[in-house]
Amino acid sequence: MAEHSTDAQLAALDRLVGTWRITGGSEGTVTYRWMEGGFFLIQEIDLGEKDGERTKGIEMIGRLRPYGAEEPSEHIVSRYYSGMGETLDYVYEMDGDTLTIWAVEKGSPAYYRGTFSADGNTLSGRWTYPGGGGYESIATRIG
C-alpha cells in the first residue's frame, strides 16, 4: 500500500493497484501503480485497436496541490494523456465497493460506475454518456 499519510479517500484507491484485463466495450489491459511518495496513482492503458485507432495512454490520479498551496484539492482528480495527443480530465470517487469516475467534474452526465466483487478481483460496471450512449466494462485482476 502506498504511504499517503492520512488521506483515506486516496488510500481507498489502493485496491486498483495491479494489472487488469478489460473486456466489454473496450478490450485490453490497464495497470495501476503508486508513484513514489504515494500521492499519485499512475494508470497505464493499452486497450488495443478499435475503429482503426489504438487506445494507449497514461493517467495520473491524485489531489491537486499547486506550488505554494497548503491544502490539496477537495476531489481526487486525474488527467489522461493519450498516444494520439488528447488529454481528458476526470474526478475519482470511491464509496464502499463502488468506484465512480466522473468525466471533467463530479456530477457530470458522462461517467463510469463499477462495483468490486467480494474478493476484490473483478470490477464490473458501465460507462454512461449523455443521450443514452455508453458501454459495459469488466476489469478482471490478472496480476
Domain membership flag for residue 1? no
Amino acid at 38: G
Q: What is the pTM of this model?
A: 0.92
Report pLDDT digits (tens) over 54-107: 889 999 999 999 999 999 999 999 999 999 999 999 999 999 999 999 999 999
Domain membership flag for residue 2? no
Q: Residue 16: helix, strand or coil by DSSP?
A: helix
Domain membership flag for residue 103? yes
Q: How many domains does the chain have?
A: 1
Domain membership flag for residue 59? yes
CATH number of 80's domain = 2.40.128.20
Report pLDDT digits (tens) over 94-140: 999 999 999 999 999 999 999 999 999 999 999 999 988 899 999 99
Q: Residue 105: helix, strand or coil by DSSP?
A: coil
Which of 54, 45, 53, 142 minimizes the C-alpha distance to 101?
Answer: 45
What pLDDT does residue 133 have? 86
Question: 55 lies in which domain range?
Answer: 8-141
Domain membership flag for residue 3? no
Report pLDDT digits (tens) over 3-24: 555 799 999 999 999 999 999 9
By the 8 A CB rule, do 126 and 111 touch?
A: no
